[in-house]
Amino acid sequence: MPPLRDAAALRMIDRIPRLGWVGAPSPVAALPRLASALGLDFLGIKRDDLCEPLHGGMKMRKLDYVLAAPPLSTAAAWSAAGGIGSGNVAALAAAAARLGRRVHAHLFWTDPSRSVIDNLAFIASGPTSIRFYPSRLELALARPSLFLPLRARDGDGAAIVPLGATSALGMVGVVRAALELCAQVRAGELPEPERVYVPLGSGGTAAGLAAGLALGGLRSRVVAVAVVERLLASRFRLRALTAELRALLARKGVAPLPPAAPIDLVHGYLGRGYGSPTPASLAACEALAAEGISLEPVYTGKAMAALMADARDRRLGPVLFWQTARREPLPRPSDFCERLPPALSRRLDTYCGGSSR
């Protein structure tokens, strides 16, 4: 790869304002034991769970940019939609506590798992107010402005945070992350990955990495493992996100912009739906726990399950897994059920039984 292409790109990217929360590069660790068990010559993991701000994770990289621009940078309250265990809304609650803002959280039902309840309890105990909806569709019908990026403010005046913090600006944080990896490859910390595995939720991580890896001069491809339903995880969506990001980068004078890295869109690991763990994702979480790494079963567990299946299936070059999840544990106040809307705590009876009424 051409020397210093990533450094020059980073200088251009760093003209775009951000909060500056993301600092030192997250480390890349090699997993030689798991690699040899899977028949891989090299398996690395990019530890975004160790990113400094708040609890780390890819969401913080996006919010670093998203929250730095108006109207979010000036609004007293932010409106956001997500599942009851939304990592984005949990990250927002942490950001709001730090910046003295409030979050209007509009949450739809997903099956509860431990990581979902951890996030929900954290959301409930932050500077937040929660509204609960039985399904994503009902939330979308009740609050379309949270889903369509046509308006910057909600009906109640709160500034709207894009779904999954994925907007052109949010993806700039992911591009920056990719350039960080390019520099680590150039420094010899890992071989140039042939494939970079990530979960695909709102798509910003996959699209941002594809743009950033190419910009930094790597020839890697992105393998995006769908953790949401097919309608939401489409080639069409990825193409639209890529176009939006390229337009923003061009406006900001980031040039020349090479074509984005190829993205392999992988279906087949979703299981019952968004938010539901699968046997394969739980097995992947267990395999990584044996390496001292904590995945959760609804995003990263599914992406790792795909990686493990691919590695067993065929011969792969150097593989990098991007740990996009925040670190564990989040503080869990014992009274969080009392802070939930009654309709939600009632549905969580195995977690909230007896404590809410």
Burial of residue 277, with CB atoms counted within 10 A of its CB: 0-12 exposed, 13-18 middle, 19 or more buried: buried
When the beta carbons of 5 and 225 are compared against ligand PLP, the nearer one is 225
Q: How many CA atoms lie within 13 A of 113 on its CB side?
A: 17
When the beta carbons of 291 and 338 are compared against ligand PLP, the nearer one is 291
Distance CA 146, CA 43 (A): 38
Helix (H, G, I), strand (E, B) or coil at 198: strand
C-alpha dihedral sign at 215, 318, 29, 2: negative
Characterize 315-344 residue by residue with b for buried, 16 or more Cβ atoms within 10 angstroms of its Cβ, and e for exposed. ebebbbbbbbbbbeebeeeeebbebbbeeb
According to DSSP, residue 50 is labeled: G
Residue with tokens 């569709």, as numbered in its chain: 137
Instruction: Give CA 112 to chain center in angstroms.
Output: 19
Whether residue 70 has a cis bond before it, omega within 30° of 0 = no
When the beta carbons of 260 and 345 are compared against ligand PLP, the nearer one is 260
When the beta carbons of 287 and 356 are compared against ligand PLP, the nearer one is 287
The token pair at 201 is: 């939720």
Q: Considering the complex, what minimum distance in angstroms separates the CB of residue 342 from ligand PLP?
A: 27
Distance CA 111, CA 142 (A): 21
Position of minimal CB gap to ligand PLP:
87
When the beta carbons of 87 and 277 are compared against ligand PLP, the nearer one is 87
The token pair at 108 is: 């739809």
DSSP, residue by residue, 90-150: HHHHHHHHHHT-EEEEEEE-----HHHHHHHHHHHTSSEEEEEESSHHHHHHH-GGGTSTT
The CA-based angle 44-49-54, given to 5 degrees, is 160
When the beta carbons of 205 and 345 are compared against ligand PLP, the nearer one is 205
Q: Considering the complex, what minimum distance in angstroms separates the CB of residue 251 from ligand PLP?
A: 22
Distance CA 152, CA 78 (A): 10
When the beta carbons of 77 and 325 are compared against ligand PLP, the nearer one is 325
When the beta carbons of 77 and 238 are compared against ligand PLP, the nearer one is 238
Q: Considering the complex, what minimum distance in angstroms separates the CB of residue 57 from ligand PLP?
A: 6
> Do 62 and 174 form a contact (C-beta atoms < 8 A)?
yes
In the complex, the residues that contact ligand PLP under the rule CB under 6 A are 58-59, 87-88, 164, 166, 199-206, 296, 299-300, 324-325
Q: Considering the complex, what minimum distance in angstroms separates the CB of residue 357 from ligand PLP?
A: 31
When the beta carbons of 128 and 205 are compared against ligand PLP, the nearer one is 205
Looking at the DSSP bridge assignments, the partners of residue 319 are 43, 195
